[in-house]
Amino acid sequence: MTTPTLLVIEDDPAVRQGIVDVLEYAGYQTLEAADGHAGMELALKANYRLLLLDLVMPGPSGFEILAALKRHRPGQAVIILSARGEENDRVRGLVNGADDYVVKPFSMKELLARVDAVLRRTCERSAPADIRPIPGGSVDFQTRAITHDDGHREEISDREADLLRYLMDSRGRLVSREEILRQLWHLDPARTETRTIDMHVMHLRTKLRDKDQRMLETVRGKGYRFLTESPP
């Protein structure tokens, strides 16, 4: 698997360098920005798995970057790093899309633990013995197969299984093609033909017997979602 790239946006050079050194020593690749202007550009355009984001810095604030991510890059994993320990700031960050919040000063051991936890929770979901019900059957993510109530079994590829799991885990949320490419397949959307996702969705829909899109819905020009309840 490709080594995850982490983006660090932090205006204090000593803190930023310390974080980058620890992350790289732990085996991660890093990108970094020293203010909100450079941070905003990288946050929206770079290819990375997790953002470590300061709140107060020159240029756009961390909250402004979070707001931009929510509009243009939904689903992006974010850990806020800030000296602000007030509950209102923590809640505001989490409500606006952050996955975790670490208050300065923090130990690097704690930071690495938080990074690992968020990556596992948002990007690295494992595939244990996991059988999930679907209308008219079930999906076994360990054996990579869909079994219908009539006993017919359809094998699915690793990529089809990963895509179906990601959409099911999104619990009815609309997931963009760009999010799938970045977060699931670790590809740069600007350099990848998006028809590859359409083809995987088409194959999945056939194997799910979902020609009417009552489970796996395509929202033209926006993305896909797995419907938690079939529409009437």
Last residue of a domain, one of 122, 141, 159: 122
For residue 80, what are the β-bridge partners? 53, 101
Q: What is the pLDDT of residue 128?
A: 42
**Strand 137-140 relative to strand 100-103: parallel, antiparallel, unpaired?**
unpaired
51, 116: one domain: yes
Last residue of a domain, one of 122, 155, 183: 122
The overall pTM is greater than 0.75: no
Residue 231 in domain? no
27, 106: one domain: yes
- Structural domain boundaries, residue 148: 131-226
Residue 142 in domain? yes
76, 145: one domain: no
Residue 165 in domain? yes
Phi, psi values for residue 133, rounded to 5°: -75, 145
Residue 23 in domain? yes
Last residue of a domain, one of 98, 122, 146: 122
Q: What is the pLDDT of residue 164?
A: 93
- Residue 54 near residue 25, CB atoms below 8 Å: no
CA distance 193 to 108: 39
CA distance 69 to 209: 35
Query: 205 to each of 82, 117, 230, how far by Cα in Å?
Result: 44, 32, 14
CA distance 142 to 135: 19
Which residues of the chain are under the pLDDT cut of 50?
1, 124-129, 230-232
Domain with residue 135: its CATH number is 1.10.10.10
Indicate the number of domains in the chain.
2
CA distance 62 to 15: 16
Residue 182 in domain? yes
48, 12: one domain: yes
Q: What is the pLDDT of residue 96?
A: 79
115, 21: one domain: yes
